[in-house]
Each structure stands twice: as structure tokens, then as C-alpha cells.
Amino acid sequence: MTQLKLYDTYERQVRELIPLKDNDVGLYACGPTVYNYVHIGNLRTYIFEDLLRRTIVHAGFNLKHVMNITDVGHLTSDADSGEDKMEVGSRRSGMSAWEMAEFYADSFKEDLQRLNILPPDIWCKATDHIKEQIAFVEDLEAKNYTYKTSDGIYFDSRKLNSYGYLARLDVEGLQAGARVEQGERRFVTDFALWKFSSPDEQRQMEWESPWGVGFPGWHIECSAMSARYLGDYFDIHCGGKDHIPIHHTNEIAQTEASRGTRLANFWMHGYFLQMEESKMSKSSGDFLRLQSLIDEGFSSLAYRYFCLTAHYRSELSFSWESLKANDTALNRLYEAAFSWGDPTTISEAYMTRFVEHLYEDLNVPRALAVAWELARSDEPDGVKKATLLAFDEIFGLDIAEWEPAQIDIPDEVLNLVSAREEARSQKDWGKADAVREEIRNLGFEVEDSREGPKIKPL
């Protein structure tokens, strides 16, 4: 049997996934901060995680997939100097922080569904786990890894020799090149575990703690919640690559200091979607949502397919042209698969090639190339269909469900089509072409296939 190999950012190498315990694989994925809609770049990362979890299940492991919702504490600056994004978002949206959290979390879940991204086994919200986070900070305090400033409790990163290993941080270089105010922090890489509510401003989200009224820092939620649901040391932790230098680095530091482990056996990161012009920046408010693509006439699965064409560890350049190209490809695949009829038996030869690529650190682009070779091969239709449907367990493109769109064609157009058939049977090409032009003016295109005329909306 083929081994499932994955790239681990911590070791910077591809190695076999061997569960820490029995046949069980614990997977923790960093979810969104729900202060706004997610954009298509965010969604690329969740598509990667979906491919990962489908592959883990395909390889025969028992999966426990946990995803958090950050609904408090993520500041507008990772240097712990900015405002809470939730409070800022609340002012912008006119909703309370609590209402807004629910609104954007629901919107996020809807996007996942539209992209055939399977939901995690457990959703967990930071605000539902304040106790666990306080307990975690207390433990760090007892172990002498914290210090207090006027605005919060901070993690003393210099007490950990291994700090920054995940990102291969040059800590001294960071100190030298620092461009931000350190405030009362003792060192650039120190970070907030608990922030005090400001006396000047009434926060919507705040809690009592041993250190006073306030709210948890951003990083502590992941250490606390992953420990609660998956244990102190679990199999895979993933997120976007931008989390490597700060968020994940800090999670590792907290857990290492408190529990003496490095948190996860594998650290996996999805790379960015690259925009043509501007950056895919959420804070500027100018970003593409899944809905933006749908508004332009693309299906959500066309975007999923587009993401399958690039390896998760390479940047992918987004452009409308490129999305269009892949939309065309996907529709050809759908139509071909539909025309093959009922599935019969799976081709072992193609399946083997597919799995080899998939298990080699999720080489989905290669796996997709195998699908196309299969589609254009001499295999019997039933075999093609059965094999492609098996591939689709991973691709998640709903190939089995696809059927040609049913469109309403006005009687006027149908009459014209009949009139044109009449003219064609009499070889009156001039009239046939004139009628076709008339039909075009009504918004429909006629194509003469072997089975008779086909009508499509323009």
C-alpha cells in the first residue's frame, strides 16, 4: 500500500504520516477571524485543507478535524498594539460584536458548503473557551514564562531557546530590523497572552480574570482549544503560510513552555493566491469574495477546480482569464463524464497513478492530469466514469451529480428553430442563416448537432 507523505514545515521535509496514536489522526485548522467576509484567497487555504482531510480519510485513517472561529482578541496589529478587529468591525458593520461574529461565521460556513469543503467534526469559538485560555495563561505564569505590563500579560519569548524554529527566525536580526514600537514589551518577539480592557473605552467583549477584566490574546486560543479537543500533542496543524512567523510560532512557544511538546507532529501551510494588481487585502475592504465570482457568472466549483490546478505549496496567480480557462476545462470534463453514462469498474492502472501522486504530498495537479489522460484514453466509457467518480472523492467536483442545464426557451424561439429546420431541409441556406440571426437577436444560439439543433443562451 502506498504511504501518505506530507510536507512538514517544522522539519522542512516530506515525510510519511504515521499517526501518533493507533490509526487516529487529529487535525487542527486555523479558522477565520469573523470580522468580515472571507475572500477567495482565504478560501484557497480551506480548499487545501479539504483536500488534505479527504486524502487522510482515503488513506484509511480515522480523522478528527477541529476548526476554530476567532471571535475575539485578534488585533489589527500582530504586534499587539492595535485594536481588536472585532470591535473595529462592529463599528464598521453597525452590528454588535456578538451579532457580527455569528453573521460572518455563518457566511463563512455557507462559502465552505458551496465549495464542497467538508465541515470539521468540531467547530470551536474562542469566546466559548475563555476558561481554558485563562487556565493556560495561569500555567505559563506558574512556570515563569510571563510578565505583566500596563496593558496586559505577555509571553517572555527569550526564555525559550527554541523560539522561532518553525519559521527559522533570526531573532537577533528581527530585533535589529524592527520597525514597530515595542511599547512595554521587553523583546520584539514577545506577545500578549491576556489584554486588559482599556479604562477609556467600554469593550463589548470582556471577561474577569486573575489579572483583571480583559480578553485573551489571539494565539492562546489555538493552544488552549487544540489541547482540549486533540490533546497537547497531535498529528497535524495547518493554516495559511502567513501564520508561520508569528501565529504558529507563538502557539508552539506557548505549548512548548507549558506542556513541553511542540504541539503538532506536522505543520502544513497553504500558499497564497496572488492577485494581478493589488494585494488580496482584507483590511482595505477591497477584495474578491466567492459571491463576487458567482456574480460574474462562475460556479463556485469552477473556483474549486481552479485551485486544484496548482500545488498547495505554490502561489497561484488569479486572473479572470485564468478562471475562465479552468471553467471551460471543468465544463468539458462534466460534459464528457455525463456522456459516458453509468459507471462500471474502476481502472486499477489509472487509480494507482492517481493515488501515487495524491499521496506524494497532495500533488493534486498531477492527479488532475491523470484524470484528463483517462478522459481522453481508449478505456470503455463505463470504466472512465467509474474511475473518474472515484477520483472525485478527492476532487469534490460533484461530477456524479452534474447534468446539462435545463433552460427555458421561449415559444417564439422554438418556432424560429422549427422554421429554420424547415428552411434547411429545403436547402434554403440564406433563409436558415437569416433565421439563426433572428434567434441570436432573441438571445439564443443554435448549434446543429448530429441529434438535431441544440439551443443555448448566449
Partner RNA sequence: GGCUGGGUGGCAGAGUGGUUAUGCAGCGGUCUGCAACACCGUUUACGCCGGUUCAAUUCCGACCCCAGCCUCCA
DSSP assigned state of 61? P
CB of 373 to RNA, least distance (A): 6
For RNA, give the closer residue by CB, 23 or 319: 319
CB of 395 to RNA, least distance (A): 13
Segment (H or E) for 449: strand 444-449
Listed in sequence order, the residues at least 6 apart from 321 whose beta carbon sits closer than 8 Å to its beta carbon are none
CB of 4 to RNA, least distance (A): 15
Segment (H or E) for 395: helix 381-395
For RNA, give the closer residue by CB, 141 or 331: 331
What SS3 state is found at 196? strand
For RNA, give the closer residue by CB, 135 or 299: 299
* CB neighbourhood size of 181 (10 A): 10
For RNA, give the closer residue by CB, 44 or 125: 44
For RNA, give the closer residue by CB, 108 or 138: 108
HSE-up of 184 (CA within 13 Å, CB side)?
A: 11
How big is the CA angle at 69 (ends 233 and 77), to the nearest 5 degrees? 95
For RNA, give the closer residue by CB, 129 or 243: 243
> Phi and psi dihedrals of 264, rounded to 5?
-130, 150
What SS3 state is found at 25? strand
Rg (CA), the chain: 27
CB of 359 to RNA, least distance (A): 12
Listed in sequence order, the residues at least 6 apart from 397 whose beta carbon sits closer than 8 Å to its beta carbon are 116, 301, 304, 305, 330, 333, 334
For RNA, give the closer residue by CB, 180 or 414: 180
Residue 286: is it exposed, middle or buried by C-beta count within 10 angstroms (0-12/13-18/19+)?
exposed
> Are 303 and 41 contacting, i.e. CB atoms less than 8 angstroms apart?
no
CB of 144 to RNA, least distance (A): 25
For RNA, give the closer residue by CB, 180 or 442: 180
CB of 330 to RNA, least distance (A): 8
Task: For cell 439551443, name the residue.
Answer: 455
* CB neighbourhood size of 23 (10 A): 10
CB of 57 to RNA, least distance (A): 22
What is the total residue count of the chain? 458
How big is the CA angle at 306 (ends 101 and 387), to the nearest 5 degrees? 110
CB of 243 to RNA, least distance (A): 5
